[in-house]
Amino acid sequence: MQMTLNADKIIATVDTLAQRVSERFPEAGLSKVAKDFTKIARKMRDDALALEQPNWRLRLTTFGILAAGVILFGFVFKELHFSSPLPEAATLVQIIEPAANIAILVALGIAFIVSLEGRWKRKQALVSLHSLRSMIHVIDMHQLTKDPSVLLDAIEPTASSPKRTMGRVEIQRYLDYCSEMLSLSGKIAALYTQSMQDQVVIETVNELEALSTNLTRKIWQKIMILDRAASDGRGNTPSE
């Protein structure tokens, strides 16, 4: 039995996550990022499903080229006149040469149209995956200022220090949300590998999954520091 990702369930999970972020941090920038993430996820779900369908306009063009080739073959044979039951060498040349030329042109035309559909789908997929890459970096930017070391050490803020109003529990939940969004990004990207078996697209999806995994690993390092702080009874109050 082939196992595949359910795109609708991924979208439902993304929607639930956005609602959780909005309820927990209604005034935080992460709430808007989560809403934008749902829009991108829905668009990518629709794009991935659309790429599974054949491009009938291009395929009808292929059939048209094939039909034109058959018609040309018919004209070639119609114009030939045989003076004897067995055609002579010169007559065979008259048949083979134009027939071979037509066959080559038809084959080249069909190959071009078929490759054109693949290139068009690849371009559409890469555009969507690029927007997802940008979103991954936006999510990472939002977790950068959530530094657990500030809660653990008595560090005096400078004039340019970011304002920190969250305690340990809030920061940990904030980082959890960022981690979940990054993980879901990899699942959304993987939808494209189910829709098309293009090597460039597969490599791009693998790169995005590796990127989201590496960023998630950084976040979980912060969460582990917060867990150790909780066991020591530190970091329960906001730090400016």
More confident residue, 97 or 90: 97
Q: What is the pLDDT of residues 56-82, one digit of tens each?
A: 676 677 677 666 666 766 666 665 554
Rounded to two decimals, what is the model's pTM? 0.73
Q: What is the pLDDT of residues 91-101, one digit of tens each?
A: 555 566 666 66
Q: What is the pLDDT of residues 12-37, one digit of tens each?
A: 999 999 999 999 999 888 999 999 99
Q: CB of 166 within 8 A of CB of 28?
A: no
- Binned at pLDDT 50, 70 and 90, residue 83 comes out as very low
Q: CB of 165 within 8 A of CB of 25?
A: no
Q: What is the pLDDT of residues 139-195, one digit of tens each?
A: 999 888 787 776 666 567 667 666 767 777 888 899 999 999 999 999 999 999 888
Q: What b-and-e string marks burial along 222-239, b requiring 16 or more CB atoms within 10 Å of the CB?
A: bbebbeebeeeeebeeeb
- Binned at pLDDT 50, 70 and 90, residue 110 comes out as low
> What pLDDT score was predicted for residue 86?
47
CA quadruple 161, 166, 167, 173: dihedral positive or negative? negative
- Residues counted in the chain: 240
> What pLDDT score was predicted for residue 180?
94
Please spell the DSSP secondary structure of 111-174, one letter per residue: HHHHHHHHHHHHHHHHHHHHHHHHHHHHHHHHHHT--THHHHS-PPP-TTSPP----HHHHHHH
Q: What is the pLDDT of residues 201-232, one digit of tens each?
A: 999 999 999 999 999 999 988 888 887 766 66
> What pLDDT score was predicted for residue 240?
36
Closest CA to 118 of 179, 188, 198, 56: 198
